[in-house]
């Protein structure tokens, strides 16, 4: 596996990933573009109220 696959596998709690795999991964940090950021933040805040995610 390359470094990207290793990082994503760790976040998904898997030993191995291959191109084309669909995963749900826990992330340590995220980056948002200034154009899409506000809409994404609103969505995360709504999900947090529903008990789905935690936004720091």
Using a 10 angstrom Cβ sphere, with 0-12 exposed, 13-18 middle and 19 or more buried, the burial of residue 5 is middle
Residue 21 pLDDT: 94
Q: What are the residues whose beta carbons fall under 8 Å from the beta carbon of 23, sequence distance 6 or more?
A: 8, 9, 11, 12, 14, 17
Residue 3 pLDDT: 94
Single pTM value for the model: 0.54
Q: What are the residues whose beta carbons fall under 8 Å from the beta carbon of 55, sequence distance 6 or more?
A: 41, 44, 45, 48
Q: Pick the residue with more confidence: 30 or 4?
A: 4
Distance CA 17, CA 6 (A): 8
Q: What is the per-residue pLDDT across 30-53, written as a single tens digit (0 to 9) for each?
A: 777 778 888 888 887 887 766 665
Each domain of the chain, given as residue ranges in start order, spans 3-49
């Amino acid at each position: 596996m390359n470094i990207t696959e290793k990082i994503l596998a760790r976040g998904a709690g898997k030993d191995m990933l291959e191109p084309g795999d669909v995963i749900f991964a826990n992330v340590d940090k995220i980056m948002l573009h200034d154009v899409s950021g506000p809409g994404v933040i609103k969505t995360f805040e709504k999900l947090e109220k529903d008990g789905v995610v935690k936004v720091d």
